[in-house]
Amino acid sequence: MSFDLSVFSNKNIILAVTGGIAAYKSAILVRRLKDYGFNVRVVMTHGAQAFITPLTFQALSGNPVHTELLDPEAEAGMGHIELARWADLVLVAPASCDTIAKFAAGLADDLLSTLYLATKAPVWVAPAMNQQMWAAKPTQRNLNTLVEDGVHVIMPEAGSQACGDVGLGRMPEPEDLAEQVKNYFHQAQRAIAEKFGLLAGKRVVITAGPTREAIDPVRYISNHSTGKMGFAIAAACYSAGAKVTLLAGPVSLDTPNGVRRINVSSAIKMLDESMHQLEEGCDVFIATAAVADYRVAEVAEHKIKKAGDELNVSLVKNPDIVATIAQQSKRPFMVGFAAETRNVEEYAAGKLVAKKLDMIACNDVSRADIGFASDQNAMTVFFAEQYQMEKRDLEKASKQEIAQQLVEAIHDALNHKIEPV
């Protein structure tokens, strides 16, 4: 699944590194957290500096490394208070047996233990130690105290250790820890979106990509649609709090995080699945798919062999998916798309009325800079007459930005419909 990593750019992580051979993994962990877009500051105990240098973490994080409780360069010399207020999450990895004991006892004799007491941010610890130290009753007692105090303990892994022992005590791999941090913030943001997002509580169904209409077992009719716009809209709807189902034609794109994806191939199958989704319940139907207008009347059972200079194939018209859904008695809010090469706005306005849509977005796919394969788009949005809303011109931008503007337009229309008297 794909994530929009820009959502983490305003999240601040303090990575606290304590004494232990696993400190070398923490350098990789900084890189992985930075890859996800987090702001990272590193706190090191004196024991940690025996295994790896502060300069390493400064180079990787892009920020000064904090090692002393009383910092003459910090505001009023109270560096631990500044850090405590800055953090959205404190991750102690590796967390030594000594640090865990200090946390449990409430000691405050160094920067990290004082920071632990001073922060309101969630605190996670990833213990790393000898297997016997891990199993010792005082260590387990201290860990239970931390859990009772609301600290999230990431269980160590089993395996061979630097001392030669085998057992529990290895710090999880940096990639796994970074993934857990990412998922934590994503879930927190999702909870907010489901309550306060522009499409909170809405169930959205989106069609995206091309369809393929078989000629024989190895050949088909299709088009140049990549599905990028539809997938971007699916991600934007999910970020806005909606429950999203994506009916995807044959495209090579990662499924947006949190989105339910159903793969289809032909126009008939896409219509069947659309009707099924309508039966399950749908508040908003967004038809971005470039559905083939025609299909082969009779698909050959076997590969057609080359014979002569011409091959005649009989085509029949495919059903119009968006118009069919719009005609249903329990129709959702209908959003259509018009990809045209000329008279774009004229054709789009006509489709809006003819297909009984609530909203339509159109663009000129003859333009190389915003065509099917482009990462950018520019659109004009029209609304049905009953919404009494003026058309919107969405200037050229990334498809992600255009998708967000379309979500805003849908939200505005849903909240401005003028009901007949």
The answer on 129 and 253 residing in a single domain is no
Residue 367 has pLDDT above 60, yes or no: yes
Kindly state whether residue 105 falls inside one of the protein's structural domains. Answer: yes
Last residue of a domain, one of 184, 213, 229: 184
Kindly state whether residue 191 falls inside one of the protein's structural domains. Answer: no
pLDDT band at 104 (very low <50, low <70, confident <90, very high): very high
**Do 217 and 302 touch, CB atoms closer than 8 A?**
yes
How many separate domains does the chain show? 2
Kindly state whether residue 3 falls inside one of the protein's structural domains. Answer: no
The answer on 225 and 299 residing in a single domain is yes
**Do 183 and 38 touch, CB atoms closer than 8 A?**
no
Kindly state whether residue 419 falls inside one of the protein's structural domains. Answer: no
CATH of the domain at 49: 3.40.50.1950
The answer on 382 and 288 residing in a single domain is yes
**Do 407 and 362 touch, CB atoms closer than 8 A?**
no
The answer on 208 and 178 residing in a single domain is no
269 assigned binding-site residue: no
**Do 93 and 64 touch, CB atoms closer than 8 A?**
no
Residue 421 has pLDDT above 50, yes or no: no
The answer on 267 and 212 residing in a single domain is yes
Residue 271 to residue 268: CA distance in whole angstroms: 5
**Do 94 and 128 touch, CB atoms closer than 8 A?**
yes
The answer on 259 and 115 residing in a single domain is no
Mean predicted confidence (pLDDT) in 51-79: 83
293 assigned binding-site residue: yes
| Per-residue model confidence (pLDDT) at position 70 | 74
CATH of the domain at 250: 3.40.50.10300
319 assigned binding-site residue: yes
**Do 379 and 394 touch, CB atoms closer than 8 A?**
yes
Residue 374 has pLDDT above 90, yes or no: no
Count of CA atoms in the C-beta half-sphere (13 A) of 52:
24
> What's the token pair of residue 334?
């209908």
| Per-residue model confidence (pLDDT) at position 341 | 84
Residue 302 has pLDDT above 60, yes or no: yes
The answer on 38 and 153 residing in a single domain is yes
Task: Return the HEC string of the chain.
Answer: CECCHHHHCCCEEEEEECCCCCHHHHHHHHHHHHHCCCEEEEEECCCHHHCCCHHHHHHHHCCCCECCCCCCCCHHHCHHHHHHHHCCEEEEEEECHHHHHHHHHCCCCCHHHHHHHHCCCCEEEEECCCHHHHHCHHHHHHHHHHHHCCCEECCCEEEECCCCCEEEEECCCHHHHHHHHHHHHHHHHHHHHHHHCCCCCCEEEEEECECCEEEECCEEECCCCCCHHHHHHHHHHHHCCCEEEEEECCCCCCCECCCEEEECCCHHHHHHHHHHHHHHCCCEEEECCECCCEEECCCCCCCCCCCCCCCCCCEEECCCHHHHHHCCCCCCEEEEEEEECCCHHHHHHHHHHHCCCCEEEEEECCCCCCCCCCCEEEEEEEECHHHCCCCEEEEEEEHHHHHHHHHHHHHHHHCCCCCCC
Number of neighbouring beta carbons within 10 Å of residue 285? 26
Residues making up the chain, counted from first to last:
421
Kindly state whether residue 267 falls inside one of the protein's structural domains. Answer: yes
Mean pLDDT taken over the chain: 91
Give residue 367's domain range. 198-413
Residue that wins the pLDDT comparison between 365 and 252: 252
The answer on 117 and 233 residing in a single domain is no
Residue 93: closest CA among 35, 14, 146, 162: 14
The answer on 299 and 164 residing in a single domain is no
Residue that wins the pLDDT comparison between 307 and 56: 56
Report in angstroms the alpha-carbon separations of 79 from 55, 61, 88.
Answer: 19, 18, 16
Mean predicted confidence (pLDDT) in 97-106: 97
Q: Which residues contact 134 (CB under 8 A, 6 or more apart)?
A: 97, 127, 156, 167, 168, 169
The answer on 275 and 173 residing in a single domain is no
Give pLDDT tens digits for 158-214: 877 777 777 788 999 999 999 999 999 989 888 998 889 999 999 999 999 999 999
The answer on 203 and 146 residing in a single domain is no
196 assigned binding-site residue: no
Residue 77 has pLDDT above 70, yes or no: no
Q: Name the strands in the sheet holding 152-153, side by side, starting at the edge strand that comes first in the sequence.
A: 39-44, 12-17, 89-95, 123-127, 152-153
Q: Which residues contact 218 (CB under 8 A, 6 or more apart)?
A: 303
Does residue 256 have a cis peptide bond before it, meaning omega lies within 30 degrees of 0? no
Kindly state whether residue 106 falls inside one of the protein's structural domains. Answer: yes
**Do 61 and 26 touch, CB atoms closer than 8 A?**
no
330 assigned binding-site residue: no
Kindly state whether residue 418 falls inside one of the protein's structural domains. Answer: no
**Do 227 and 206 touch, CB atoms closer than 8 A?**
no
Report in angstroms the alpha-carbon separations of 280 from 96, 265, 302.
Answer: 52, 21, 37
| Per-residue model confidence (pLDDT) at position 79 | 62
Catalytic residues: 163
The answer on 220 and 133 residing in a single domain is no
Last residue of a domain, one of 122, 154, 184: 184
Last residue of a domain, one of 123, 155, 184: 184
Mean predicted confidence (pLDDT) in 293-298: 94
Least confident span in 167-171, 217-221, 233-237, 334-338: 167-171
Kindly state whether residue 190 falls inside one of the protein's structural domains. Answer: no
| Per-residue model confidence (pLDDT) at position 363 | 87
The values of phi and psi at residue 130, to 5°, are: -60, 145
pTM: 0.78
